[in-house]
Amino acid sequence: MFNRSKTEAPSAPASDANEAARQQAEEIASGKGRATPSRKEREAANRRPLVPADRKAARVADRDRLRTERERQQAGLAAGDERYLPARDKGPQKKFARDFVDARWSVGEFLVPIVVVLLLVTFLPFPSDIKNQVSSYVLIVVWGFFLLTVIDCLVMGAMMARRLRAKFGAAERGVKWYASMRAIQLRPLRMPKPQVKRGQLPS
């Protein structure tokens, strides 16, 4: 009995070595190819300094990164890139509406400049009797131009809705209002920037 136990005792280290070799072989076969890091090693890898060594350089780098990100977003928005568009501008029908508006001349895009000019006219030093007449005429012209803008937007909306139904099956809710709001903006100030030329209506 004593001789049997003495001969079996050294087999424990050998079995441990075989078990370790088997685990390592399994890790390599599974694609891991390296030993599992210890808890201390993982904590050291995840540890980050709370305060950078060079605060000024870190601020400059962060400011440059934010500026680059803003410039990329602005460029994407101006180009009509869907990734950078706000929710109100996203979608194929909104893209169609923008191109439809930008391809035509709209009465509304001249509304703001004309109103500003007419209001400036009322501040000119006219005699009191003429000034009242000028103010009345200016008011009539402003309201007349506003009425023309509304009519133009309604006609444009009807034409665009017909094309949207032919292309997409149905016009998206709010797309006509979206197009009207773009139509009363000056072309250079529209955002996203116009992607088509005058007369280049979308198909």
Max Cα–Cα distance, the chain, nearest Å: 134
pLDDT band at 70 (very low <50, low <70, confident <90, very high): confident
Same domain, 182 and 96: yes
pLDDT at position 48:
58
> Over the stretch 126-149, which tens digit does the pLDDT of each residue have?
888 888 888 889 999 999 999 999
The answer to whether residue 150 is domain-embedded is yes
Same domain, 98 and 184: yes
Residue 59 in this model has a pLDDT that exceeds 90: no
**In the structure encoding, which two tokens stand for residue 36, read together?**
């599992």
Rounded to an integer, what distance in angstroms lies between the CA atom of residue 84 and that of residue 76?
6
The answer to whether residue 142 is domain-embedded is yes
Residue with the two structure tokens 């029908």: 93
Same domain, 92 and 40: no
For residue 38, what are the domain limits?
A: 12-46
Give this prediction's pTM.
0.66
Same domain, 32 and 98: no
Count of domains forming the chain: 2
The answer to whether residue 57 is domain-embedded is no
Same domain, 94 and 151: yes
Same domain, 95 and 161: yes
The answer to whether residue 54 is domain-embedded is no
Rounded to an integer, what distance in angstroms lies between the CA atom of residue 171 and that of residue 86?
20
